Every structure is written in structure tokens, then in C-alpha cells.
């Protein structure tokens, strides 16, 4: 079945550091890819998405490019802030599965220190 | 604020009991999804309803059931509760039957003692 693998956390960085959170996927069809963020005590918020190969999703300084050849969707940000501290989830939605469910990675906890 | 509301925010109950979680989707959204977030299983899809009809089933236990009402709100019923059912239960909604973005509610935290 479909699956998403994220880099193990937790990740701790200093403010203004460069961030990469790796995400790779396995899918039967041609999935859409998402990054969701969960701030402490809150639900999941969509951060960005990409629906086809070579698409780049971007939002709030975060970017991720849909790489079909490497089945990856790595999240990057050039200069992180303390307010970016949260848990980040990579997810896919695969039309080949006939359902619109999201398949999530295990989440990566990010802590940014001032 | 995603526009998806869930009640209650917290729920504490005992093993063997039954609880109902409620979700109201964003205005205009026809699809509702339920997810369970636990420490050992991560975030897992449980079930989807579209305009009142069950559309897809995931890793939902037989002790669990859901429905979507004519006003499009949904309820997730959990019965014969076990300690391992303690988790965060999220509801999400999307516009309709194609592959739109899902918007998540704040979740209901269930603790089974």
C-alpha cells in the first residue's frame, strides 16, 4: 500500500538556520503531496501542496518540490523562526486507491531556539 | 481557524463505555473524514463520508462507527472502549468528490481510564 517516510525527529535548530525535513513516498498512482503543520495544542493546518511532478508548493517561506524521479517532497526553509516550532507531517493522497484519504508520515517535531 | 469545528475538546471516560464525537464541516464542504492520532500508530485515516454516504473506510475498528447527517455534520461513535483507544481524533472536510485539500478541525482528545 501507499506509504510516507519522514526523517526522524526531533530536529532542533537555532533561529535563522536553514531547514530541511526529508520526505519520501511510495504510491501506486500519481499522488498529490502535502505538508501539514501542527502547532502545540492545535489541529493540523495545510502548509503547502503539489499535485504533479516538478510542481513547487510554497507558503510562509517554506517550499517543497514534487520530485517523481526520487519519489520525494522535501520541506525547506531558508531562515527559520522560533514561531516555526511545531510538528510537521508529510502526506499523500493517491487517486489510484479510489479514496481521498490522506496517508501521513510519522511527523517530525521541530524546535527552534532563539 | 479552519472553519471545521469539533466537540467536545476533551473527553475522559472509563473502559467499556461508549462516547460520541461530533464534527461540523466548513460551510459548503460535502466530505467529512475522521482520523485517529496516537503515539504508537501516528495519524491514521478511519472513514470518509460524502454527502451523507460512506465513501471510504480505513483502519476503523468494528467497535467504531460513524454517520453523516442531512445537515452534513458527522458523528463518530466509539464503543466498548479500551485503554488503547486513547488518542486525538481529528475531523477534516473538503468541498466534494475530487481531490481537494482537506481542512482539519482542532481535534477531540479522548482519554480512556
Instruction: Tell me which chain A residues have a C-beta less than 8 angstroms from the C-beta of B58.
Output: 99, 101
pLDDT tens-digit profile of B8-49? 999 999 999 999 999 999 999 999 999 999 988 888 999 999
Contact criterion met (CB < 8 Å) for B106 and A32: no
Q: Is A40 on the interface with B (CB under 8 A)?
A: no
Q: What is the pLDDT of residue A93?
A: 87
Q: Is A102 on the interface with B (CB under 8 A)?
A: yes
pLDDT tens-digit profile of B70-93? 999 999 999 999 999 999 999 999
Taking 90 as the threshold, does the pLDDT of residue B53 lie above it?
yes
Contact criterion met (CB < 8 Å) for A100 and B102: yes
Question: pLDDT band at residue A43, thresholds of 50, 70 and 90?
Answer: confident
- Note whether B50 and B96 are within 8 A (CB): yes
Q: How far apart are CA B6 and CA B93, in angstroms?
A: 11
Q: How far apart are CA B98 and CA A27, in angstroms?
A: 18
Question: pLDDT band at residue A99, thresholds of 50, 70 and 90?
Answer: low
Mean pLDDT of B89-104: 82
Q: Is A95 on the interface with B (CB under 8 A)?
A: yes
Amino acid at each position: 500500500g501507499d506509504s510516507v517516510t519522514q526523517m526522524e525527529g526531533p530536529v532542533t535548530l537555532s533561529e535563522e538556520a536553514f531547514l530541511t525535513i526529508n520526505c519520501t513516498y511510495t504510491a501506486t498512482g500519481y499522488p498529490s503531496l502535502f505538508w501539514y503543520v501542527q502547532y502545540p495544542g492545535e489541529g493540523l493546518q495545510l502548509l503547502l501542496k503539489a499535485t504533479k511532478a516538478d510542481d513547487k508548493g510554497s507558503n510562509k517561506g517554506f517550499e517543497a518540490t514534487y520530485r517523481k524521479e526520487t519519489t520525494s517532497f522535501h520541506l525547506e526553509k531558508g531562515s527559520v523562526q522560533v514561531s516555526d516550532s511545531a510538528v510537521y507531517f508529510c502526506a499523500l493522497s493517491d487517486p489510484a486507491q479510489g479514496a481521498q484519504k490522506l496517508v501521513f508520515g510519522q511527523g517530525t517535531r521541530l524546535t527552534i531556539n532563539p | 481557524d479552519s472553519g471545521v469545528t469539533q466537540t467536545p475538546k476533551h473527553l475522559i471516560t472509563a473502559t467499556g463505555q461508549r462516547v460520541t464525537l461530533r464534527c461540523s464541516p466548513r460551510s459548503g464542504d460535502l466530505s467529512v473524514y475522521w482520523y485517529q492520532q496516537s503515539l504508537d500508530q501516528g495519524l491514521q485515516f478511519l472513514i470518509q463520508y460524502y454527502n451523507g454516504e460512506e465513501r471510504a473506510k480505513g483502519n476503523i475498528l468494528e467497535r467504531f462507527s460513524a454517520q453523516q447527517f442531512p445537515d452534513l455534520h458527522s458523528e463518530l461513535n466509539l464503543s466498548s472502549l479500551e485503554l488503547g483507544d486513547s488518542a486525538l481524533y481529528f475531523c477534516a472536510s473538503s468541498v466534494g468528490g475530487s481531490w481537494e485539500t482537506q481542512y482539519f478541525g482542532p481535534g477531540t482528545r479522548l482519554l480512556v481510564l
